[in-house]
Structure 1
């Protein structure tokens, strides 16, 4: 399997696309100014105690108070609170964890009011990003993720990833980490650490400890609510969790992000920095590599996958429903039962891809084509487990019921990916009325003139549909050339298939105007 990563950076948005064997399998879209990402550590203040929920609402600076359940406090929360108080007081500097006398663990069956009180400051970490109308979900069991290890302050346990199956390797890693980790810190060994040498793991462990110690110093000067430590860059974090030897190319269209990713690849995979490439094409990167087309084809309500078979994907507040249909697919030489099995087995691969691509979480119910043979149902269940093995997100799969339904639960830590794949009518753009299309070029020209006068810029980029691009480029002198003579050769014209027919967009260094006829 070969993997390629594409990072599209714009002033407002960051988009990351992962292709495996040229097929889009993961897509992330995030605003450049996004806050409250998973992994961020905040000093919050308790706003409300909810005994009925055995939870508290914490003010971390988000418009909605964040949610902290008693079970997410962590057994050593009292030690954490003691440490925070000592640093905030500033009397003894930043104490080393190995010198801190740990407090007793909290009772597993205790209540939130025994640990927290209204107005109290508490150190918390974002476990789930804000989703829909809900604020962030928090935990007080702080963890700092690295490439091979996850550092857990106020713990002394060493845990090994369950995906490392060989007992000899598990025992080696556990002995190794117990011998090098500082007192007062726990460690989770990630799957990619399998076979790694002690020098590499020791170096990463020291780096994580240093990052923690440098961050908690901020407690002295931070008033709740305030950020204590932010997660590393979005692209770097994605690469940290995902990078493996199958990566062939990483394309980035931004100088700064290109340098960050090249340096990070050099750190985690010395000698492979050359796979990070700066994209400098004249057309949009996602258009040139066919990613935009895959997005439109893969994220609609109906998704085709094999010989006319297709999925229908519906989203509700409580769950996601996926219906498997054979469509006009038929095999005269095959029985209905075997045909159903064939379609269902093919559907498992596309369903697993869709779950990753849309980052669907919560409860997913799949209605497979009915099969009477119990062995066939078992084959579909086993195949689903097999194709979901590459999904890094925690999930649980149940066997098919007698009604042909399969239930999957998948952890949700950020909002689900929603992309509108249906375009507005190119003539009326949803209004029901049509503006004279002959006036489109005049409207573009007036918009360019207005932007130039308002912002006093010398450089700007005009994005238009490929058909419009061909029209304004035809002839000599072309309309595009006339505009450049009038407005200056800092005007760059680019075609983009992501725009509807009569829509255009003007970008300057710091602003964007999206317009249509």
Structure 2
């Protein structure tokens, strides 16, 4: 059973999804960082690049959006047959386009957009211009799949299509029809708004984070939804009242004095989700390294020694790691290429067990994943769709001291840099003494290791050290060079 905790008091909205009382997903929305995936804009083509089969579209953001040729092909074109047309055959510079954001902007890249519009509902994703009916792979019974297809085909217009979501399993024709009619009306309103809009302009915005999570997550297997904001509580009950009135009883208002995340001990879980090392219950651990290109999970036995033989210990650790890695992917919202370095297994059957376990755990993930299998080096490869910023990017920023490297200069390295600069001054300025300012930690370190004496011997100058708390540990400042009397006066000032 799942539980959803909503912290919506204050400027920041946070939604935590728990499975078995463990945090598995976290969503955060801030006023200055509105999620734009799903938004529809009337944009203007700024540039067409045939060599890249892409175009840049101005949608009113700091960076122009990126439109690939595959994302602007008419739905009637079969991309698997024949040659894909050049993008400059489909759109031209200066053209006005209705586009929808499919991926947030990341780093130096602008948002990715598509001309293939879709509007998500509770049971369906509505495709206003694509005559196609798809069914979620998670609905596995063929009889149910065909029932759903039959229902929606009787409701849809010739130019329309839908993708039936997992929550559609078992719902009635009335519920599906209500969803389609509601989304059709929203699309018709978008069309009306578009006529009077001058690009670039937002013409459709998805619902708030809290309502979106409730729409997409709340079902029979959710035990309860606990919300600490009266206004959000009313909003959610109204939303469920239209979709699923019988689920309204699962919504509960939190009236406690303690912060709701602190009450459910979620702040500690969030803090642990930012660490590089994650401990497993058995005593093994994961090391997680995220780069711009890919994310690497390294599995280690750690304190777990097993009870019988090495191979059994390895397999048990790897299977436990599978479950935790799948959780960390969702919790940290890791996207892109993912490499998992399991502990080496000598038996093919054991590798298959680990792969099967990983497949089972990934089925719990709503985000699209693709498990490729083991490489010749024994690394498990997979991909996970990147739709929004990962948890680290949302909650942290690059350190101004190490600039995101996670490492700073060693004390001896800083000593060498300072020594070379002071030698240069002793030759050129012919000064007797120098005042150097350092971070308090570096001052203590220099005196403990008698580095000040070494500097005086190598430079031939009287070196005076002074604490400057405003400096970080990998920088120093030569504050003054002059006579011994002048420097001492500066030190005592």
Structure 1 residue corresponding to 2:361, chosen from 381, 384, 387: 387
**For residues 433 and 271 of structure 1, do their structure 2 counterparts lie closer, same or farther at Cα, with a shift above 3 Å needed?**
farther
**TM superposition outliers: structure 1 runs of 4+ over 4 Å:** 431-434
Q: Is the 8 A contact 2:50 2:88 kept in 1?
A: yes
**For residues 172 and 229 of structure 1, do their structure 2 counterparts lie closer, same or farther at Cα, with a shift above 3 Å needed?**
same
Instruction: Give the C-alpha shift of residue 10 in structure 1.
Output: 4.4
Per-residue Cα deviation, 1:455-514 (whole angstroms, up to 9, x for no partner): xxxxxxxxxxxxxxxxxxxxxxxxxxxxxxxxxxxxxxxxxxxxxxxxxxxxxxxxxxxx
Structure 1 residue corresponding to 2:297, chosen from 322, 329, 332: 322
Instruction: Give the C-alpha shift of residue 244 in structure 1.
Output: 2.0
- CA separation in 1, counterparts of 2:317 and 2:128? 49
Instruction: Give the C-alpha shift of residue 432 in structure 1.
Output: 6.0
SS in 1 for 2:17: strand
Say which structure, 1 or 2, has more relative contact order (CA 8 Å, 6+ apart).
1
- CA separation in 2, counterparts of 1:231 and 1:107? 36
Matched, 1:186 2:161: yes
- CA separation in 2, counterparts of 1:420 and 1:33? 15
- CA separation in 1, counterparts of 2:385 and 2:83? 23
**For residues 222 and 29 of structure 1, do their structure 2 counterparts lie closer, same or farther at Cα, with a shift above 3 Å needed?**
same
Matched, 1:168 2:143: yes
Q: Which residue of 2 aligns with 1:294?
A: 269
Per-residue Cα deviation, 1:375-417 (whole angstroms, up to 9, x for no partner): 1011000110011111111111122234321011010011111
Instruction: Give the C-alpha shift of residue 239 in structure 1.
Output: 1.8
Q: Which residue of 2 aligns with 1:218?
A: 193
Q: Is the 8 A contact 1:124 1:139 kept in 2?
A: yes
Q: Is the 8 A contact 1:378 1:399 kept in 2?
A: no
- CA separation in 2, counterparts of 1:200 and 1:385? 32
Q: Which residue of 2 aligns with 1:413?
A: 387
Structure 1 residue corresponding to 2:216, chosen from 241, 247, 262: 241
SS in 2 for 1:163: coil
SS in 1 for 2:223: strand
Q: Is the 8 A contact 2:314 2:343 kept in 1?
A: yes
SS in 2 for 1:303: strand
Instruction: Give the C-alpha shift of residue 165 in structure 1.
Output: 2.0
Matched, 1:197 2:197: no
Q: Which structure 2 residues correspond to residues 50-69 of structure 1 after superposition, within 5 A? A: 50-69=49-68
Q: Which residue of 2 aligns with 1:45?
A: 44
Q: Which residue of 2 aligns with 1:30?
A: 29
Q: Which structure 2 residues correspond to residues 304-315 of structure 1 after superposition, within 5 A? A: 304-315=279-290
- CA separation in 1, counterparts of 2:95 and 2:187? 22
Q: Is the 8 A contact 1:132 1:415 kept in 2?
A: no
Q: Which structure 2 residues correspond to residues 88-99 of structure 1 after superposition, within 5 A? A: none
Alpha-carbon RMSD: 2.3
Q: Which structure 2 residues correspond to residues 364-379 of structure 1 after superposition, within 5 A? A: 364-379=338-353
SS in 1 for 2:373: coil
Q: Is the 8 A contact 2:29 2:35 kept in 1?
A: no
Per-residue Cα deviation, 1:271-322 (whole angstroms, up to 9, x for no partner): 2213222223222111111011111223311111222111000011111011
SS in 2 for 1:306: coil
- CA separation in 2, counterparts of 1:189 and 1:409? 24
SS in 2 for 1:110: coil
SS in 1 for 2:319: helix
SS in 2 for 1:377: helix
Matched, 1:349 2:323: yes
**For residues 267 and 305 of structure 1, do their structure 2 counterparts lie closer, same or farther at Cα, with a shift above 3 Å needed?**
farther
**For residues 36 and 285 of structure 1, do their structure 2 counterparts lie closer, same or farther at Cα, with a shift above 3 Å needed?**
closer
- CA separation in 2, counterparts of 1:229 and 1:348? 40
- CA separation in 2, counterparts of 1:279 and 1:228? 35
- CA separation in 1, counterparts of 2:36 and 2:167? 23
Instruction: Give the C-alpha shift of residue 77 in structure 1.
Output: 9.2
- CA separation in 1, counterparts of 2:82 and 2:92? 17
**For residues 352 and 8 of structure 1, do their structure 2 counterparts lie closer, same or farther at Cα, with a shift above 3 Å needed?**
same
Structure 2: tracts of 5 or more residues without a match? 400-437, 442-493
**For residues 145 and 44 of structure 1, do their structure 2 counterparts lie closer, same or farther at Cα, with a shift above 3 Å needed?**
same
**For residues 334 and 170 of structure 1, do their structure 2 counterparts lie closer, same or farther at Cα, with a shift above 3 Å needed?**
same
Q: Which residue of 1 aligns with 2:235?
A: 260
- CA separation in 1, counterparts of 2:34 and 2:169? 33
Q: Which residue of 2 aligns with 1:110?
A: 85
Q: Which residue of 1 aligns with 2:118?
A: 143
- CA separation in 1, counterparts of 2:34 and 2:270? 25
Instruction: Give the C-alpha shift of residue 8 in structure 1.
Output: 1.4
**For residues 213 and 77 of structure 1, do their structure 2 counterparts lie closer, same or farther at Cα, with a shift above 3 Å needed?**
farther
Instruction: Give the C-alpha shift of residue 420 in structure 1.
Output: 5.1
Q: Which residue of 1 aligns with 2:244?
A: 269
TM-score by length of 1: 0.74
- CA separation in 1, counterparts of 2:29 and 2:256? 23
- CA separation in 1, counterparts of 2:166 and 2:223? 21
**For residues 108 and 245 of structure 1, do their structure 2 counterparts lie closer, same or farther at Cα, with a shift above 3 Å needed?**
farther
- CA separation in 2, counterparts of 1:67 and 1:402? 36
- CA separation in 1, counterparts of 2:208 and 2:336? 26
Instruction: Give the C-alpha shift of residue 433 in structure 1.
Output: 6.0
Q: Is the 8 A contact 2:282 2:317 kept in 1?
A: no
**How many residues get paired?**
399
Structure 2 residue corresponding to 1:155, chosen from 112, 127, 130: 130
**For residues 402 and 3 of structure 1, do their structure 2 counterparts lie closer, same or farther at Cα, with a shift above 3 Å needed?**
same
Instruction: Give the C-alpha shift of residue 21 in structure 1.
Output: 1.0
TM-score by length of 2: 0.77
Structure 1: tracts of 5 or more residues without a match? 79-105, 424-430, 435-517
- CA separation in 1, counterparts of 2:357 and 2:18? 22
